[in-house]
Amino acid sequence: MIEFRDVSKTYTGSSRPVVKDLSFEVLDGEICVLVGPSGCGKTTSMRMVNRLIEPSSGEILIDGEPNTAMSATQLRRRIGYAIQQIGLFPHRTIADNIATVPGLVGWEKARITARVDELLELVGLDPEQYRGRYPAELSGGQQQRVGVARAMAADPPIMLMDEPFGAVDPITRHRLQDEFLRIQQEIKKTIVFVTHDIDEAIKMGDKIAILKEGGILAQYDTPENILAAPTSEFVSSFVGSDRVLKRLSLMRVSEMDLEPANGSDTLPRIDERTNLKDALSEMIGAGAERGLVVSDRSGVRGTISIQQIKNLSHRTEAGRHGV
C-alpha cells in the first residue's frame, strides 16, 4: 500500500507549491491514476514515491513505512518505472535491456534468462523472435511493451508509470492499454499511473486522483463515482459533458437486470461482456429496440433494451442535479 500524508512540494526559488497537502491511499493491487491539467503536479507527485523528487513536507508511506527508511537507490530497485520516452539502451539487445535491474540486484544468469522470456511472452512478444533484437528494430508500440517488461523485470511490488503509452498512435495506444489491463489481472501490482487524458484515466484506474492547479486534490474516488457524482464544478468540467457515455463504457451488459428472451430470435446478439456504450451502438446500428444477451458459458442470458440504458443515463443525470 502507498499512502500520501499531507505531502507538499515547493521548488527552490518559487513561492508557490507545485503539490499542496496531498493525502490519499493506494491499496495493494490497485491502479491509481493521477490526472489533471498541465502543471498540476501529477508527475512531481509520482516521482516523490521513488524519491526522484523529495517532498518539502509531509511523508509517503509504503506498507506503513516511510519511503525514507532505506536509501533512494535501494528504494528505486524495488519500484518499477515506465515512462513515455521509454529510454531503452540503443546498443543493448532487448533481453539485456529487460535484464538491467535483475542484473543490478544480483540475480543468477539462468534466472534472468527465464525472467526475460517470461516477460516477453507476457507483453505479447515472442522471445525467440525479439530477445536478440535491438530497440531500433522495433516499432514504437513494441518498444513501449519492452519498456513495461523492463519495469516489471525484478518483480517489484510497486510500479510507477508516467504517460507510458503516450508516444504511440491512438490505435496502438488502445491495444497497449488493453494488453496491460490483461497483464494486471495476472500480476496485481500496486501502480501509480500518470496521464493527462481523462478517458485513459477512466479506462485504466481502479481509483482516480484529479488534481487541479497548485497540486491540490480535487477528488479521489473510483471512476464510476467520479462520473456519477463529481464533487465540484472543476471536476465536472474536467471530466467533460459526455460523462454519461463515459460511465456507460465502464458498465458491462452482464451487470444489468436482463429481461426474458421470449420471441427474440431476430434480435442482434450482444456478448454479456460488452460495455453498455457499445451495446447501445449495436442496437441503434441494427435498428432494434432490444438486443439478445449471450454468454460463452450459458448461451442466451436474456435481453437488454435501449430504454433500460436510457433510464440508467437519466438516473445518472438526476443524481448530478440532486434529484
pLDDT tens digits for range 93-119:
999 999 988 888 889 999 999 999 999
For the record, the C-alpha cell of 246 comes out as 463515459
Give CA–CA dist 231/22, Å, rounded: 17
Domain 252-314 = CATH 3.10.580.10: yes
Q: What is the pLDDT of residue 216?
A: 95
The residue extents of the domains of the chain are 2-246, 252-314
Q: What is the DSSP letter of 135?
A: G
Among 1-5, 32-36, 45-49, 82-86, which stretch is predicted with the lowest mean pLDDT?
82-86
CATH of domain 2-246: 3.40.50.300
Give CA–CA dist 15/266, Å, rounded: 67
Residue 242 C-beta-side C-alpha neighbours within 13 Å: 7
Cβ of 181: how many Cβ atoms within 10 Å? Answer: 12
Between the alpha carbon of residue 285 and those of residues 267, 273, 275, 282, the distances in Å are 12, 19, 15, 5
Do 93 and 112 form a contact (C-beta atoms < 8 A)?
Answer: no
In the beta sheet, which residues pair with residue 147? Answer: none
Give CA–CA dist 97/1, Å, rounded: 28
**pLDDT tier for residue 289 given thresholds of 50, 70 and 90:** confident
Q: What is the pLDDT of residue 317?
A: 53
Among 116-130, 186-200, 277-291, which stretch is predicted with the lowest mean pLDDT?
277-291
Q: Which distant-in-sequence residues (6+ apart) come within 8 Å of 255 by Cβ?
A: none
Give CA–CA dist 80/314, Å, rounded: 42
Torsions phi, psi of 3, nearest 5? -130, 125
Beta strands in the chain (DSSP E): 2-9, 19-26, 31-35, 57-62, 65-66, 79-83, 158-162, 190-195, 207-212, 216-221, 269-271, 290-295, 299-305
Do 269 and 258 form a contact (C-beta atoms < 8 A)?
Answer: no
For the record, the C-alpha cell of 134 comes out as 535491438
Average pLDDT, the chain: 87
Q: How many residues are present in the chain?
A: 323
Q: What is the DSSP letter of 269?
A: E
pLDDT at 318 exceeding the cut of 60? no
Do 194 and 200 form a contact (C-beta atoms < 8 A)?
Answer: no
Q: For residues 262 and 207, which has the higher predicted lDDT (pLDDT)?
A: 207
pLDDT at 243 exceeding the cut of 80? no
Give CA–CA dist 121/103, Å, rounded: 20
- Whole-structure pTM value: 0.78
